[in-house]
Amino acid sequence: MAEYRELVGQVMDELGLALTSVNPEAVTSLRQDILDARRIFVAGQGRSGLRMQAFAMRLMHLDLNAHVVGGVTTPAVNPGDLLIVGSGSGRTESLVHYARRAHDLNAQVSLITIASESPIGKYADSVIRIAAASPKLETPENERQTVQPMGSLFEQALGLLLDIVVIQLMDDLTTDQTAMFARHANLE
């Protein structure tokens, strides 16, 4: 069994490779899409979905109009809105449906994924690709071994990528943590 510190090093190395695989221009484009959108909707399933929900929370902290698809208070999607989907495989059926529906409603669709050429990718106006190993996909990245189980590498890289986007949006919006914290839930 590997020692704790050895695993920390391996996981951090894997995350570094995954995050540096991302095209910076695609991230800049996503930021601009977020800033230009009337409203932002996020979607994901499982652990990726949890990362997307956390991102929606931070967008709200930035005073942006953000919603999680499937929530009981989520409004209708319209032209001028942006749907951001986080899906390692790019083929989760419910997410394919959301992307297709948003596309049909003339909303913009962005996908963050391992698999650019996926069913969701067909409906996406923009794609951010994270190079990560996944047991669900037959891609060159699967030739690279990961010490992490299942889709953990993608899920962790997704969360960190979205946190980096938030840091950049803070600069774009000339806001700081004090202003963001003032919007944090206070019925705790």
Which of the residues are catalytic?
A: 155
Is 147 within 8 Å of 156 (Cβ atoms)? no
Distance CA 94, CA 76 (A): 17
Within 10 angstroms of residue 152's Cβ, the number of other Cβ atoms is: 18
Cβ contacts of 143 within 8 Å, gap of 6 or more: none
What H or E segment, with its residue span, contains residue 86?
strand 82-86
Distance CA 115, CA 133 (A): 11
